[in-house]
Homo-oligomer: A and B are copies of this chain.
Amino acid sequence: MNKTIILEKRPVGKPQLTDFKFVDEEKPQLEANEILLKASYVSVDPYLRGRMSDAKSYSAPFELKKPISSGVVAEVVESNLAGFSQGDFVSGLLEWKEYQKSDGKGLLKVDPAKAALSAYLGVLGMTGLTAYLGLTEIGKPKQGETLIVSGAAGAVGSVVGQIGKILGCHVVGIAGTDEKVAMLKAKYGFDVAINYNTTENMKEAIAKACPDGVDVYFDNVGGEITDGVLANINQFARLIICGSISVYNETSVPMGPRVETTLVKNSALMQGFIVRNYAAKFPEAMAKLTEWVQEGKLTYTETIVDGFDQIPQAFIGLFEGKNNGKMIVKI
């Protein structure tokens, strides 16, 4: 018996339990140079919603009637592959199955002695890699510079801000509730936090929060928040465009002030960031993030749901605000 979750129907609007189906498969038989993996923790993420549609995007859509995949931490329960031993733990993009086999490609070994296994799906997984590599590869923050983060209370944003502090920046976060704003300062160490829902004039609020101007902007939101940031950028500013959640649901192309003149006047850079393009840097980034977690410099929040059967409900819960921080299912 090997429980597997397939995409039964493409969701329309909010995903429903009936969009998913549990099927039973045989446990796979290992051949040479393969390992058998048993899932330990499964990550459910909002971006998976996009892959459940068949619209063109940077990730291929999931196939109908085929298993869904996401970030998974798994235990090696059998190995015919050099370099992997029974009892090792790995993380990677794996299917929603209790057991699956792998040729080891794309898997990272993770160490339960260094951090909780669930952390390898968040702060030490794609979330942390996105924050670290977006910030360091495009943002290149220098000590004493000002970093501003939109969507700052989100899984990625909260890590970005903490890394900014570790690297010696003045760090400003933008979020949407007073509770989040308070948390940014108290829990994650942001120097200043702005509630965009209660702020009349974002441009002025950002100017006040960034007395030396903005050198690096890590953008998870887009739209008018970005307009307010752009009005405050310094010469040679670097803008990491990681997400545009504010415009995802718009049906026509959203309009805004043109950015060209601002970019030229400030010799500024604006670059779209997708973490999987930086796979070659994952080991180096993981080492750094693990070190900071062990030293207690990087903190994180997670909601852990128990049981393989709960994966679809946990995923749906993301759209109902059921999670606080990273949502993870423990198998």
Q: Point out the residues of chain B lying under 8 angstroms from A260, CB to CB.
A: 219, 222-223, 226, 241, 244, 247, 272
B-contacting 9-mer, from A89-97, A158-166, A205-213, A261-269: A261-269
A247 touches B258 (CB 8 A): yes
Q: B267 touching A259 by the CB < 8 A rule?
A: no
CB atoms of B261 and A222 under 8 A apart = yes
Find A243's partner among B256, B264, B266 (CB 8 Å cutoff).
B264
In the complex, what residues of B have CB within 8 A of residue A226's CB? 260
State in angstroms the CA–CA spacing of A247 and B219 once bound together: 26
Point out the residue from B222, B242, B267 that lies within 8 Å of A277, measured CB to CB: B267
Judge whether A269 and B267 touch: CB under 8 Å.
no
- Take A222-B260, A241-B260, A260-B222 as given contacts and tell me if A272 and B268 are in contact as well, using a CB distance cutoff of 8 Å: yes
A132 within 8 A of B: no
What's the Cα separation between A236 and B259 when bound, in Å?
A: 19
Interface residues of A in 80-106 (CB under 8 A from B): none
CB-based contact B257/A266 at 8 Å:
no
Known contacts A255-B255, A256-B256; is-contact A261 B273 (Cβ 8 Å): no
Residue of B nearest to A276 (CB): B267
Asked whether A23 is an interface residue with its Cβ less than 8 Å from the other chain, the reply is no
Interface flag for A113 (CB, 8 Å): no
**How far apart are A50's CB and chain B's nearest CB, in angstroms?**
11
**Cβ contact within 8 Å between A258 and B58:** no
- Check: A279 CB closer than 8 A to any chain B CB: no
Chain B minimum-CB-distance residue to A256: B258
List the B side residues contacting A257 at CB < 8 Å: 253-256
Contact indicator A261/B277 (Cβ below 8 Å): no
A258-B261 CB under 8 A given contacts A267-B277, A268-B272: no
Task: State the CA gap A301–B193 with chains docked (Å).
Answer: 55
Q: How far is the CB of A269 from chain B (nearest CB, A)?
A: 4
Q: Does A251 contact B (CB under 8 A)?
A: no
Contact among B57, B264, B274 for A273, CB-based, below 8 A: B264
| Least distance between A276 CB and chain B CB atoms (Å) | 10
Contact status B272-A267, CB under 8 Å: yes
| Interface assignment of A270: CB less than 8 Å from any CB of chain B | yes
Other contacts beyond A247-B258, A270-B270, A270-B271: 16, CB < 8 A: A58-B266, A222-B260, A223-B258, A236-B277, A241-B264, A244-B264, A253-B257, A255-B257, A256-B256, A256-B258, A259-B270, A260-B272, A263-B271, A265-B272, A267-B272, A267-B274
Q: Please, could you name 5 A-B residue pairs with CB atoms under 8 Å apart, sorted by A? A: A247-B258, A247-B261, A254-B257, A264-B274, A267-B277
Spell out A's residues near B (CB within 8 Å): 57-58, 219, 222-223, 226, 235-236, 241-244, 247, 253-274, 277
